[in-house]
Amino acid sequence: MIEVNDLSKRYGDKLAVDTLSFTVRPGVVTGFLGPNGAGKSTTMRMIMGLDRPSSGKVRVSGRPYEQHEAPLETIGALLEAKAIHPGRSAYHHLLALAASNGIGRQRVLEVIDMVGLTEVARKRAGGFSLGMGQRLGIASALLGDPRIVMLDEPVNGLDPEGVLWIRNLLKDLADQGRTVFVSSHLMSEMALIAEDLIVIGRGRLLSAGPLADFVAQSSSRSVRVQSPQAGALRDLLVGDGVSVTGSRPGVLDVQGLEAAEIGERAAAAGLVLHELFVQEASLEEAFMELTRDAVEYHATTTEFATTGGTYR
């Protein structure tokens, strides 16, 4: 369990994290989403006691992190890949960390084996690829067999097999009743593994709760209607709060009306429908919609697309 209460972090003039409050519960994978610069990494560093909050509190398993006797057994974290001296081997890096908490050599070899680094564990880490660095970071997160696992962008640089492995690992960890808190910018990945979702933008909480609710609430949900009388149907449906777009002839995407309502109106007007299909918003669409105003670094192409009228 991670409890964040009114947490703020100020760097000079900039409020990186702004009175943020949320709880990460055990037993499920909780995704942590936000645009670049939203404050995800800063929040995670404050949970680990690495950055000092400007105000507010973080409690990890009921206490501030630094008050735990065996920190590595409390949280295992991957905050940045390759947080290792390039001249030191993965084995010695892990052995040193393990020694501080009284974790034995056997466990070090075990986590190295688990992440698939056995063959390179004795080599200097300077030559590691990003993916190998990630595996090493994950190994150090698992070192203390922690009750909470917190990973910042764990799939970065991993090959497809590695991604699959992480996905299974995180689900298993959650199934065992552990708290699993994962940030990622890969929405498709998040949609697959996360059950709960915490979304922040500009340091503020935008949404917290089950991922399914988050997606369902999105107005990006639309109904696709195919009809030989598309023109007539469009005139019939367009109105207050309803928008109709057409991607190809005979096909309409309707937002703001339920499928049943569309079907009934069409039937009443005697229009023929060939298809009536509810398109659930993707997590990505729901996310974009929620964070549109909270994006720190806009790419100019986004604005182009928006004004160009073919957005989405």
Q: Is the dihedral of CA 171, 177, 178, 180 positive or negative?
A: positive
- Of 299, 300, 214, whose CA–CA distance to 33 is shortest? 214
Closest CA to 39 of 198, 158, 191: 198
192 scored as a contact of other proteins (CB under 8 A): no
- Pick from 6, 63, 172, 216: which binds other proteins (CB under 8 A)? 172
Q: 156 CB contacts (<8 Å, ≥6 apart)? A: 81, 130, 134
Interface residue with other proteins among 21, 57, 104, 312 (CB under 8 A) is 104
For 302, the token pair is 């986004």
Give first-to-last CA distance, the chain, whole Å: 37
Q: Which residue has the tokens 């992190």?
A: 65
Residue 265 is a binding residue for other proteins (CB under 8 A): no
Identify whether the C-beta of residue 157 lies closer than 8 Å to the C-beta of residue 184: no
Structure tokens at 53: 């909050």
* Least Cβ distance, residue 283 to other proteins (angstroms): 25
Q: Helices in 127-257 by DSSP H: which ranges?
A: 130-142, 160-175, 187-193, 211-216, 230-237
- In whole angstroms, how close is the CB of 34 to other proteins at the nearest point? 20
Smallest gap from Cβ 115 to other proteins, in A, equals 8
- Would you count residue 49 as binding other proteins (CB under 8 A)? yes
Of 52-91, binders to other proteins (CB under 8 A) are 52, 65-66, 68-73, 75, 77, 79-80, 82-89
> Shortest gap between Cβ of 154 and other proteins (angstroms)?
14
Q: Out of 6, 21, 55, 102, which residue is the one contacting other proteins (CB under 8 A)?
A: 102
228 binds other proteins (CB under 8 A): no
Of residues 69 and 240, the one with the C-beta less far from other proteins: 69
Q: How many residues belong to the site for other proteins (CB under 8 A)?
A: 65
CA angle (161 as vertex; 160, 163 as ends), nearest 5: 65
Are the CB atoms for 281 and 218 separated by under 8 Å? yes
155 binds other proteins (CB under 8 A): no
Check residue 119 for interaction with other proteins (CB under 8 A): yes
Q: For residues 115 and 158, is the Cβ–Cβ distance under 8 A?
A: no
Of 132-140, 179-187, 193-201, 281-289, the window that binds other proteins (rule: CB under 8 A) is 132-140
Applying CB under 8 A, the residues found at the interface with other proteins are 45, 48-52, 65-66, 68-73, 75, 77, 79-80, 82-89, 92-93, 95-97, 99-104, 107, 110-111, 113-120, 132, 135, 140, 142, 144-145, 159, 161-162, 164-165, 168-169, 172-173, 176, 178
